[in-house]
Amino acid sequence: MKKTLEELRELSKVYFNNKETNLIYATEDGNFFFENSHNHALNHAKLNKQQIFTIYRAELLKESAELEVKKEIKKIEPKKTETKKEEKKAPKKISKMKKAQKNADAYIKYKKNTL
């Protein structure tokens, strides 16, 4: 059964538990290959007439950071029932989350340039 790139990205998170792994090759049938097994991945894809995908750790980090930021911003947005004191704190928290997003983007850009 062929898998989409999004499904493969979700499944590949397990392989990135190894801190030395920066990229993984995946085929449509759900097989994963580490960076040093690129030829095996190509051979498997060619024999089974499948497409090969390259999944980078930095991409997954960016996606998870974006989701975290979105979740936090939703939690922080002022509600009508909040007190004035709580409403004053909310913009500060949102700006901190946006700063964290910028840092995550800079880290990803750095990692892509060093690969």
Cα–Cα dist 112/115, whole Å: 5
The whole-angstrom separation of Cα 53 and Cα 88 is 46
Global pTM reads 0.54
State the DSSP code for 27: E
Tokens of 82: 């909040």
Domain ranges of the chain: 5-57, 59-114
For residue 4 the two structure tokens come to: 């989409």
Closest CA to 32 of 17, 52, 48: 52
Using DSSP bridges, classify how beta strands 23-27 and 52-56 pair: parallel, antiparallel or unpaired: antiparallel
Residue type, 84: K
pLDDT tens for the chain, residues 1 to 115: 788 888 888 888 888 887 888 899 999 999 999 989 899 999 999 999 999 999 888 877 777 666 666 666 666 555 555 566 666 666 666 777 777 778 778 777 777 776 5
